[in-house]
Amino acid sequence: MFYSPFFLFGIAILFMYCDKGTYSTQALRKSPGYHSDIEKACKQTEKADALYNKGVYDSAFIYYNSAKQLFYKNKDSLRLCYSMIRMADIQLTSGDYFGCEATATDLLPFLTIKDTLKYHEQTYNLLGRCYRKLYNYQLAGKYYNKALAVTKGSLAKSIVNNNIASVYTDNKDYYKALNILEKLNASEVVAKHPETKGRVLSNLGQIYYILKKPLAAGYIKEGFAIRKEIKDLRGMLSSYLLLSQLYAQTNKGLSKDYALKAYNLATAINSSDNRLSALRILMRKSAGAENVARTEQYLTLSDSIEKVKMTAKSEFAKIKYDSKIIQERLTRQEIKNRRDDEEHRFKVRLIIFGSVLVLLIPVVFFYIKRLKYKEEKVLQAYVTETRISKKIHDELANDMFEVMVYAETQDFAEPGQKQKLVKNLDSIYNKTRDISRESNNIDTGENFPVVLKDMLADYKTEDSNVMFIKYNSIDWQVISKPKKIAVYRVLQELMVNMKKHSGADVTVLKFSAEGKKITIQYNDNGKGLAADKIFYKNGLQNADSRMKSVNGSITFENGPEKGLKALIEFTL
């Protein structure tokens, strides 16, 4: 059986270029190392968790970072987010606040992925804590409020609100903090959770102490009693320091006693910053030789803590830098290998294309004489196939080359550069997916209703809603395969136009069947028809040709105010 020469010509062009559109999206998931990489990364995460729970943070950080690289390589965003949150938490605990900020900020782009929603609260709360340590109370409040917006559950919201009140206290907005804390103190949810209740009472007592209100003592003591009863050691430590401040002027001996208890407890639970706070109080409460001893102790401890923090910062930065260098080296090699492979594939296809073209020349003349009555249909198919080929060449090849050049020349130490690269790669991925979707095979069997609806629903985004009316009113099983294909492609053309050109945020599709007549009404609220647009010249003409080929029709008009209306009709 002979095929149209234009059809074969178009297929030859697609054969030359098709791998350039599918190689990057399919090769990774089909690669032999995909599952083994994920398994390896999961084992590294388990080791990191065990070390983290033991407080061996430097080694845990190494394993989390290694796992992160593998999760990123294999596009496992959920586990990637977990590893990065733990890395940022380790940096915060170790006093590397700027490192924590960098890691958590790098994590933010991955929170747009649906599977990672459960990590929004943790990430925002982590950034709030980080910026509070950096005395940037504006950003701390911003991220605590973001955490509050995504937090579910009354107790979790109460804990975040308590953090927000602490930021107000740090920023000396005492009455804003009091307004939040008094509501929390009256909450039944907080009353049922002793740890949170103790924290709220202590924070209230601290503010009243600052404001020199007599209520301070009662709240601080009540909070301490709850913390002592439930053996909340870190809470007790905070209360000891508050009690020491409370009695600083009225009972200096008792104040010193609480400061000493705070110092001993901070030493026992290895809370370095609170040990320094306690020592500062003891220095003020002592004199003579004791004061000299306390001062030397403070200076020695301060130097030791600073040295540990600097060592941790340096180590974490080195780990991230080394992994970045290795990753960039592997990426450059991968790009080079891919480029060499694509050049080889292109040369092979060019030879095949040339051979096919030479063989097609006599066939072309033969078909021009014999099949002239099919010229319009053949030319339309050629135009469609050439358009797809041109899209692959113009929209992907050039974009990919620019991204490769950008990756080789930029310094990704700056978060903005890395985010720009991720954004460009995401754009290329979306273009590839759209082109693939426009040219893939269609299941016209019993699954066709599901396949059609899934295709239409793919165009539904946060900014653009797609609605269906009486979708199940049509029995697709009694409709022929050519008509199913025509309807699928015409609706696909309309949805592509909606996405790329119309700017619509609402699209409505109404399906109906009366006897043997099938009707599909399309409406959107976009820009409407414009005769000078490429889609009008190509896309709508394609749609009209497709419906005519199955003895159907499609008519277009602008809506009463704006938007595009289309009516598709055909018979069984």
Q: Distance between CA 77 and CA 535 in Å, rounded?
A: 36
Dihedral sign (CA 281, 285, 290, 295) = positive
- Percentage of the residues of the chain whose pLDDT score is greater than 70: 70
Whether 38 has a pLDDT exceeding 60, the answer reads: yes
Q: Is 434 domain-assigned?
A: yes
pLDDT tens-digit series, residues 52-82: 888 888 888 888 988 888 888 888 888 888 9
Residues 433 and 455 in one domain: no
Question: Which of these, 565, 435, 557, lies nearest to 496 by C-alpha position?
Answer: 435
For residue 235, count other CB atoms closer than 10 A to its CB: 20
Tokens of 348: 């092979």
Residues 425 and 514 in one domain: no
pLDDT tens-digit series, residues 291-335: 667 666 667 766 666 665 566 555 656 565 565 565 555 455 555
Q: For position 123, which CATH number holds? A: 1.25.40.10
Q: Is 341 domain-assigned?
A: no
Q: Is 386 domain-assigned?
A: yes
Residues 565 and 452 in one domain: yes
pLDDT tens-digit series, residues 383-437: 556 666 666 666 666 677 567 766 766 766 666 776 777 777 766 766 666 665 5
**Angle 493-497-503 from CA coordinates, rounded to 5°:** 155
pLDDT tens-digit series, residues 85-106: 999 898 888 788 888 888 888 8
Whether 476 has a pLDDT exceeding 70, the answer reads: yes
Residues 460 and 411 in one domain: no
Q: Distance between CA 445 and CA 454 in Å, rounded?
A: 15
Instruction: Band the pLDDT of 350: cuts 50, 70, 90.
Output: confident
Whether 168 has a pLDDT exceeding 70, the answer reads: yes
Q: For position 517, which CATH number holds? A: 3.30.565.10
Structural domains of the chain, count: 4
Close Cβ partners of 77 (under 8 Å, ≥ 6 residues apart): 71, 110, 113, 115, 116
Q: Distance between CA 78 and CA 346 in Å, rounded?
A: 37
Whether 247 has a pLDDT exceeding 80, the answer reads: yes
Please give the pLDDT value at position 262.
Answer: 85
Residues 378 and 481 in one domain: no
Residues 426 and 518 in one domain: no
Instruction: Band the pLDDT of 192: cuts 50, 70, 90.
Output: very high
Residues 436 and 495 in one domain: no
Start-end of H helices in 54-193? 57-73, 77-93, 97-107, 120-133, 137-150, 154-170, 174-185, 188-191
For residues 328-345, give the mean pLDDT. Answer: 60
Q: Is 210 domain-assigned?
A: no
Q: Is 552 domain-assigned?
A: yes
Instruction: Band the pLDDT of 248: cuts 50, 70, 90.
Output: confident
Q: Looking at 137, 152, 167, which one is the last position of a domain? A: 152
Whether 494 has a pLDDT exceeding 60, the answer reads: yes
pTM, two decimals, is 0.47
Q: Looking at 100, 126, 152, which one is the last position of a domain? A: 152
For residues 122-134, give the mean pLDDT. Answer: 89
Q: Is 146 domain-assigned?
A: yes
* Residue predicted with more confidence, 408 or 41: 41
Q: Is 218 domain-assigned?
A: no
Collapse the DSSP code of 340 into the 3-class scheme (helix H, G, I; strand E, B; otherwise coil) and give the result: helix
Residues 395 and 423 in one domain: yes
pLDDT tens-digit series, residues 459-473: 888 889 999 999 999
Please give the pLDDT value at position 12.
Answer: 38
Residues 464 and 486 in one domain: yes
Please give the pLDDT value at position 327.
Answer: 52
Please give the pLDDT value at position 54.
Answer: 87
Residues 376 and 293 in one domain: no
Could you tell me the CA-to-CA distances from 353 to 8, 17, 28, 395 in Å, in that order?
Answer: 10, 11, 28, 22
Whether 558 has a pLDDT exceeding 90, the answer reads: no
Residues 524 and 546 in one domain: yes
Which residues form the domain of 56?
A: 33-152
Q: Are 529 and 541 in contact (CB under 8 A)?
A: no
Please give the pLDDT value at position 563.
Answer: 85
What letter represents residue 477's amino acid? Q
Average pLDDT, the chain: 78
Q: Is 406 domain-assigned?
A: yes
Q: Looking at 280, 310, 340, which one is the last position of a domain? A: 310
Least confident of 281-290, 500-509, 546-555: 281-290
Please give the pLDDT value at position 18.
Answer: 37
Residues 403 and 471 in one domain: no
